[in-house]
């Protein structure tokens, strides 16, 4: 009861506690690890952080959601359940991109405790907050910081013990923009070169920080597989309907303000909140069990980016799901690509921003079949598809039913395309809602076993 009352009192002051804790950390004498900072082209700004004011995210909405998740995971003994503890351990690994080292969590827990003392006092909330309740709340904060420190320390130990041949990703890598294409009013294709090549899985979210919203990190997905040259292609899709204001701001700024020569900061995020690998991995036993089947990839809108990376893995001669330096199953030289059918859906033809490129790939490789799908043939005013996208020139002026486009959604067209869907393996890429619906429909309507379907949501976050 005492801890519950303290939680109730703290809940009313969450924003103040977050702000007070981060302010205390930023004003302290401790310094972060020298992680990379984003910069505009030609900017004299520093390349690496020297104080926490340059690295601590101003993302109150995320921290409030995080506190809600963690509060639900605390029992009456002031201990975290498995899900909450695993998330904290994972954040200890991931928060190194903010410059945190394992020794920073002791002063962080002290800052949290001092801030709690300012806002949660015995006698608050109808005199239900007791000194024991405040102490229990501070003990919870200390335990949470200790678990994060353990996650951070494990990553540090792994890096320290790595051999010369072990591929260990840096905490952050600098990506310099070399080309930008605005494919339509809502999609920009950003190509960049990484200062250090990153090993990542196709469909793994890459956490990105830009100079336009410098204290926000958000996930984007590479449309190119991991490669030793450090080339990266990100598809930035504005989302005016996104519920998270920080994400809307991030995507709008990244799509509209990016310029050649700008430097973004990229950090790999290999696992989810439960410690499970993110993206497509060739050495996943469930995936390997059905790797002899033909593959159907269902993608919607910006879900094309990971889907394209999976196709290009085969174009470049690697197996689907191969992660350089991490995959225990090395690619077989000259291995025959799997027969793959990519079904990509969008609302209208003007949003098929990679149509010509995919048609070219399908013509070049006999193992690849491509079906573009639209919900309507009319292109709304303001879509503004570029010359590099959309239908071929002879069909661009009249968006009516034609031999190239199929009407419907990607899932509908897939369900109608074959009587033998259970004989295939599936990858579904799109929003969490779309992925859940597609898996349920493939299972119940087409009889595809769930173990033959891999879902990759492109609106992933830590708490999803």
- Which residues 6+ apart lie within 8 Å of 242 measured at CB? 248, 251, 459
Q: Average of pLDDT values for 241-250?
A: 89
* Domain residue ranges in the chain: 2-160, 173-268, 285-457
Which pLDDT does position 327 carry in this prediction? Answer: 62
Helix H or strand E segment including 424: strand 424-430
Is pLDDT above 60 for 328? no
Question: The domain 2-160 is classified under which CATH number: 1.10.490.10, 3.55.50.30, 1.25.40.340, 3.40.50.720?
Answer: 1.10.490.10
Which pLDDT does position 462 carry in this prediction? Answer: 77
Smallest Cα–Cα separation from 299: which of 308, 287, 289? 308
State which of 229-238, 275-284, 376-385 shows the largest mean pLDDT.
229-238
Q: Average of pLDDT values for 254-276?
A: 93
Does domain 173-268 match CATH 2.40.30.10?
yes
3-class DSSP state for residue 84?
helix
Do 301 and 346 meet the contact criterion of CB atoms below 8 Å apart? yes
Query: Predicted confidence band at 424 (pLDDT cuts at 50, 70, 90)?
Result: very high
Q: What percent of the chain has pLDDT over 90?
A: 65
Q: How far is CA 60 from the centre of its chain?
A: 19
Is pLDDT above 90 for 317? no
Which pLDDT does position 168 carry in this prediction? Answer: 86
- Weakest mean pLDDT among 318-322, 393-397, 420-424: 393-397
CATH, domain range 285-457:
3.40.50.80
Is pLDDT above 60 for 434? yes
| Average pLDDT of the chain, as a whole number | 90
Query: Predicted confidence band at 372 (pLDDT cuts at 50, 70, 90)?
Result: very high
How far apart, in whole angstroms, are the C-alpha atoms of residue 312 and residue 315? 5
Which pLDDT does position 126 carry in this prediction? Answer: 63
- Which residues 6+ apart lie within 8 Å of 420 measured at CB? none
Is pLDDT above 70 for 340? yes
Do 95 and 59 meet the contact criterion of CB atoms below 8 Å apart? no
How far apart, in whole angstroms, are the C-alpha atoms of residue 354 and residue 181? 11
Is pLDDT above 60 for 182? yes
Which pLDDT does position 332 carry in this prediction? Answer: 53
Query: Predicted confidence band at 391 (pLDDT cuts at 50, 70, 90)?
Result: low
- pTM exceeds 0.85, yes or no: yes
Q: Average of pLDDT values for 195-217?
A: 95
How far apart, in whole angstroms, are the C-alpha atoms of residue 151 and residue 146? 9
Which pLDDT does position 285 carry in this prediction? Answer: 87
Q: Average of pLDDT values for 161-174?
A: 86
Burial 128-150 (b: 16+ CB within 10 A, else e): bbbeebbbbbbebbbbbbebbbb
Query: Predicted confidence band at 409 (pLDDT cuts at 50, 70, 90)?
Result: very high
How confident is the model over 108-149, as pLDDT tens digits?
999 999 999 999 988 765 667 888 889 999 999 999 999 999
117 half-sphere exposure, CB direction, 13 A CA radius = 8
């Amino acid at each position: 009861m005492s801890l519950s009352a303290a939680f109730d009192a703290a809940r009313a002051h969450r924003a103040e506690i977050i702000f007070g804790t981060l302010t205390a950390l930023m004003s302290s004498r401790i310094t972060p690890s020298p992680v990379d900072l984003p910069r505009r082209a030609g900017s004299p700004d520093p390349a690496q952080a020297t104080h926490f004011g340059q690295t601590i995210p101003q993302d109150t909405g995320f921290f409030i959601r995080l506190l809600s998740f963690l509060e639900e995971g605390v029992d009456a003994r002031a201990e975290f359940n498995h899900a909450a503890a695993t998330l904290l351990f994972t954040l200890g690994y991931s928060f190194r991109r903010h410059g945190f080292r394992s020794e920073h969590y002791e002063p962080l827990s002290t800052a949290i405790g001092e801030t709690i003392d300012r806002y949660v006092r015995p006698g608050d909330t109808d005199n239900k907050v007791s000194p024991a309740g405040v102490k229990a709340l501070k003990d919870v904060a200390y335990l949470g910081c200790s678990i994060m420190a353990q996650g951070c320390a494990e990553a540090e130990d792994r890096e320290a013990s790595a051999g010369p041949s072990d591929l260990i990703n840096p905490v952050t890598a600098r990506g310099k923009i070399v080309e930008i294409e605005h494919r339509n009013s809502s999609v920009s294709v950003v190509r960049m070169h990484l200062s250090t090549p990153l090993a990542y899985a196709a469909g793994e979210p890459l956490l990105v920080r830009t100079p336009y919203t410098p204290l926000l990190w958000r996930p984007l997905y590479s449309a190119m597989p991991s490669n030793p040259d450090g080339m990266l292609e990100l598809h930035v899709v504005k989302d005016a309907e996104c519920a998270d204001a920080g994400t809307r701001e991030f995507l709008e700024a990244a799509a509209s303000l990016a310029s050649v020569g700008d430097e973004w900061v990229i950090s790999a995020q290999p696992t989810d909140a439960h410690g499970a690998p993110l993206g497509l991995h060739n050495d996943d036993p469930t995936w390997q069990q059905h790797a002899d089947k033909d593959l159907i990839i269902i993608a919607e809108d910006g879900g094309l980016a990971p889907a394209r990376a999976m196709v290009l893995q085969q174009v470049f001669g690697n197996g689907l799901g191969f992660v350089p330096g991490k995959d225990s199953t090395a690619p077989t030289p000259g291995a025959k690509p799997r027969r793959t059918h990519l079904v990509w859906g969008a609302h209208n033809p003007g949003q098929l921003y990679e149509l010509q490129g995919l048609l070219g790939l399908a013509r070049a490789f006999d193992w690849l079949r491509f079906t573009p799908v639209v919900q309507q043939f009319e292109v709304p005013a303001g879509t503004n598809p570029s010359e590099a996208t959309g239908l071929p020139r002879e069909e661009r002026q009249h968006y009516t039913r034609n031999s190239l486009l199929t009407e419907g959604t990607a899932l509908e067209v897939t369900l109608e395309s074959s009587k033998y869907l259970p004989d295939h393996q599936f990858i579904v890429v799109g929003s969490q809602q779309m992925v859940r619906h597609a898996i349920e429909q493939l299972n119940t309507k087409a009889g595809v076993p769930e173990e033959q379907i891999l879902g990759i949501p492109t609106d992933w976050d830590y708490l999803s």
